[in-house]
């Protein structure tokens, strides 16, 4: 690697974020054509306007920018096919950083060869979403414990009900399914509030804030011991449908269920059935299996379900946090050190 790193900005990335990269790693030369990128609709709009289209001349200019870079910041057009084209057209490309925490799935979908996967390092933005998603998880857990639907119904009907007891989160046992960056942050917050935290993990190593680490193959058993379940897993072939009918059947009546990972991890028919029979008392979903959620989905009309349009991790400073991570990895690459969040090109996670 040369003493400088030429980086093509392949996705919308605001000027302040670009400044952060330059300030933290002056050896990076950012190459960007703002007119070649989709306009953003709101702060932190990483994909940009989906209706944006380049003309033929603009497309040639965009591809030339990508093809002359040592590294890409973002997957071009958030399109695996465009990523594959960029890798194959640029033998000097050494690194691609994806904006998403689950960017490994874009790499999988690009269907790159073994040689291409070995030549280019791929990293993700895992970890930068931990704090906002932990806050959404906390919102869902508190809404379930305090029986928010009942409070809203009584308020709407102007009913001053007789005394009834709310759940106390600090007295509950919460199962965090997945102990990556997001799961560890959820566990830290819950532990600080006094909850007992169980966590599932393939590696089984102790994690700060987690009272007991449970192997993933004992997920149903662990779910049966919890008052609430928080899913933080990425969407991969190994996690698809992991929250199955068997797992929901094992839950205690009234369990609070929160998903801030990926919707494909959950068998949604089993979730609806668990809501119907009361095993799940309240569900807060920032993600669903098919997005946007179809108008006919039974999840829309339920007072015991809170649907968020995959927006809990967003915000005006999200790109700034990604910039800090990217700059640190640029320094590591230039200094010959191991990159953070490198994609496993066997499991693409």
What residues are labeled active site?
A: 262, 291, 310
The residues with which 228 forms a beta bridge, in sequence order, are 174, 256
- Cα separation, 118 vs 115, in Å, equals 5
Angle ∠(106,108,206) on CA atoms, nearest 5? 90
φ, ψ at 196 (rounded to 5°): -85, 125
Give the residue from 73, 89, 77, 81 showing the smallest Cα distance to 32.
73
- Cα separation, 181 vs 177, in Å, equals 12
- Cα separation, 94 vs 104, in Å, equals 16
The tally of CA atoms less than 13 A away on the side-chain side of residue 159 is: 10
Give the residue from 195, 277, 183, 178 showing the smallest Cα distance to 236.
178
Cβ atoms of residues 17 and 40 within 8 Å:
no
């Amino acid at each position: 690697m040369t003493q400088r790193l030429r980086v093509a900005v392949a996705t919308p990335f605001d000027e302040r974020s670009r400044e952060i990269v330059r300030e933290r790693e002056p050896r990076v030369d950012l190459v960007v054509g703002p007119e070649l990128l989709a306009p953003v609709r709101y702060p932190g709009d990483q994909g940009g306007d989906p209706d944006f289209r380049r003309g033929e001349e603009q497309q040639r200019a965009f591809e030339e920018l990508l093809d002359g870079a040592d590294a890409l910041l973002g997957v071009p057009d958030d399109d695996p096919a465009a990523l594959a084209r960029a890798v194959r057209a640029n033998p000097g490309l050494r690194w691609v950083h994806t904006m998403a925490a689950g960017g490994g799935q874009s790499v999988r979908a690009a269907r790159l060869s073994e040689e291409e996967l070995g030549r280019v390092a791929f990293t993700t933005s895992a970890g930068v979403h931990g704090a906002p998603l932990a806050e959404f998880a906390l919102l869902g857990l508190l809404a379930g414990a305090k029986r928010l639907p009942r409070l809203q119904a009584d308020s709407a009907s102007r009913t001053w009900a007789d005394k009834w007891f709310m759940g106390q989160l600090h007295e509950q046992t919460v199962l965090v399914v997945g102990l990556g960056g997001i799961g560890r942050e959820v566990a830290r917050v819950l532990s600080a509030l006094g909850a007992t935290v169980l966590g599932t993990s393939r590696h089984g190593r102790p994690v700060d804030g987690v009272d007991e680490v449970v192997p993933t193959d004992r997920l149903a058993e662990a779910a049966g011991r919890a008052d609430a379940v928080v899913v933080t897993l990425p969407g991969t072939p190994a996690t698809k449908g992991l929250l199955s009918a068997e797992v929901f059947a094992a839950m205690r009546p009234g369990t609070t269920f929160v998903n801030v990972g990926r919707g494909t991890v959950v068998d949604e028919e089993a979730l609806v059935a668990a809501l119907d029979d009361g095993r799940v008392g309240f569900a807060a979903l920032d993600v669903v299996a098919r997005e946007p959620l179809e108008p006919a989905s039974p999840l829309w009309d339920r007072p015991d379900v809170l649907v968020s349009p995959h927006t809990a991790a967003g915000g005006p400073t999200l790109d700034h946090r990604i910039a800090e991570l990217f700059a640190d990895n640029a320094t590591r690459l230039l200094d010959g050190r191991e990159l953070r969040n490198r994609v496993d090109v066997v499991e693409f996670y």
